[in-house]
Amino acid sequence: MLKDVYICDAIRTPIGRYSGSLSTIRADDLAAIPLQALKNRHPMLDVHQIDDVVLGCANQAGEDNRNIARMALLLAGLPETLAGVTLNRLCGSGLNAIGYAMQAIKAGENELMIAGGVEHMTRAPYVMGKAQTAFDRHQDMFDTTMGWRFINAKLDARYGTETMPQTAENLAAKFDISRAQQDRFAFLSQSNAASAQKAGYFSEEITPVHVLQKKAPSIIFDTDEHLRLTSLEKMAKLSPIVHPQGSITAANASGINDGAAAMILASESALRAQNLTPKAKILGMSVVGVTPSLMGIGPVPASQKLLSRLGLTLEDMDIIELNEAFAAQALACIQALGLKEDDPRINPQGGAIALGHPLGMSGTRIVMSAMHQLIRNQQRYALCTMCIGVGQGIAMIIENVDKD
C-alpha cells in the first residue's frame, strides 16, 4: 500500500542577484545553509534516522561538482553516515528532488528525507574541452552559467539547439503574444513580489545568511535582492535581447541568480517517531517531454497529465505556481491551459521574473511558497509547475493538511 508523504518544514536562503550579496559564498557552502537551518530548527530530530538527502542542481561544473548534496550535508554538520544524491533535470531539478524523495517514501523504501536544490550562477565557471587529436591547438571554451555547451551536431541537426530566450521568442510567435502583454505580465510579477515582500511573507521562508567580509563585520543578508519594480514606460524602452524585432527583454525574463532551499519530507510513521508536524501533503508529480524549440510549453502537458491521474481539475486549484522563465513562456502556458492572464491564482506573490531563477533551487522555492500560501489563506490545493531546458515539463500538486 502506498504511503502518504508530508512536508514538515521548509527553508531557503534569500535569492541573490548576479554578482550580488551571495557571490562570495561557494555553491557547496550555500547548499549547506538551509540544511543546517533545518537541523537547528528541529533539535529533537534524530538526524541519524534521515534516509537520504536529495538536492537538485543544474550546473555541476564548478564548486557544485562531485555530488553537491553529499558535500553540503557534511558541511552542514549532518552525520557522515547520511547519504546524499544530486539530481539534474535542469530548471526542474529542485522540484524533481522533492518528487524523487516523495516517490521513495510513498513506495515504503524510505521514511524520512531531506530534499531541495541549489544553484550558484554567479560562480559558474568557464569550461574548456580537451584536445581531440595529438598536438591539437584548437580549444573550445564555454560559459557554464546557463544554456548549451559542447553541442552534439546530430542533436543540433535533428532538433536544433536554440538559446532559452529564442525558445521564448518561438512561443511568442506561435501564440501571438505581444511585447506589451509580456511587459504587463512582468510588471504584475514585480508588483506582486514587492507587495509580498513588504507584507513579510517571504521572511517565513528565509534563513539569514552571514556573509563574511575581509576587514569588516559580517553582513546579514536576509532579503531577496533581485526585485526591480519599475514603470511600464521604462520597461518598454528596453531593447530586445534575441534580435531587433523580438519581444524578449531583460525586464520580461527571469534573472541569473544564486540561492539554495531544502525541506523535510516524512511518512506518517516518521511523523510520529520524530514528533514532526505536517504542513502539506504531496499528492503526486509528473514529467513530460516536448519539442526542444518550444521547451517553455512543458508545464501544460505535465500539469494535464498529473491532474488527470489524480482526478482533479484546474478549477480545483487554489494556487498555481507557474515558474516564470519568461513572460512569453508563462503567457503561452496560461493560454494553452485555458486560463486568464490575470487569474489571481497564478503566482500571487510574484515569480522568477521578480524574485530570480537560481535554476536548481527554483522548484523547491515554488513548492515552499505554495505551501505557505495555502496555510495562510486556509486553501486546499496548489499546482506547482515548470518548463525545463531541452524540452521537458514538470508538475506537482500539494494539499494543505488542514483541508484533508
42 is catalytic: no
Backbone angles phi, psi at 352, to 5 degrees: -65, -25
* Closest C-alpha among 27, 17, 8, 66 to residue 262: 8
Alpha carbon distance 384, 190 (integer Å): 19
Say if residue 135 is exposed, middle or buried (CB neighbours under 10 Å; 0-12, 13-18, 19+): exposed
Active-site annotation holder among 91, 226, 372, 384:
91
In DSSP terms, 263 is beta-bridged to 10, 115
Q: How many CB atoms lie within 10 A of CB 306?
A: 22
8 is catalytic: no
Alpha carbon distance 1, 7 (integer Å): 20
Say if residue 163 is exposed, middle or buried (CB neighbours under 10 Å; 0-12, 13-18, 19+): middle
Q: Which residue in the block uniquely carries the three cell numbers 502537458?
A: 301
Active-site annotation holder among 8, 333, 384, 387:
387
* Closest C-alpha among 12, 86, 31, 89 to residue 53: 86
Alpha carbon distance 134, 67 (integer Å): 32
Q: What is the CA radius of gyration of the chain?
A: 20
Q: How many CB atoms lie within 10 A of CB 345?
A: 18
Active-site annotation holder among 8, 357, 372, 384:
357
Q: How many CB atoms lie within 10 A of CB 243?
A: 11
Q: Under the phi-then-psi rule, with left for phi > 0, alpha for psi from -120 to 50, and beta for the rest, what region is 394?
A: beta
Alpha carbon distance 276, 97 (integer Å): 21
91 is catalytic: yes
Q: Which residue in the block uniquely carries the three cell numbers 503567457?
A: 331
Dump the DSSP string for 229-266: ---HHHHHTSPPSS-TT----STTB---EEEEEEEEEE
Dump the DSSP string for 14-30: PPEETTSTTTTS-HHHH
Q: What residues are labeled active site? A: 91, 357, 387
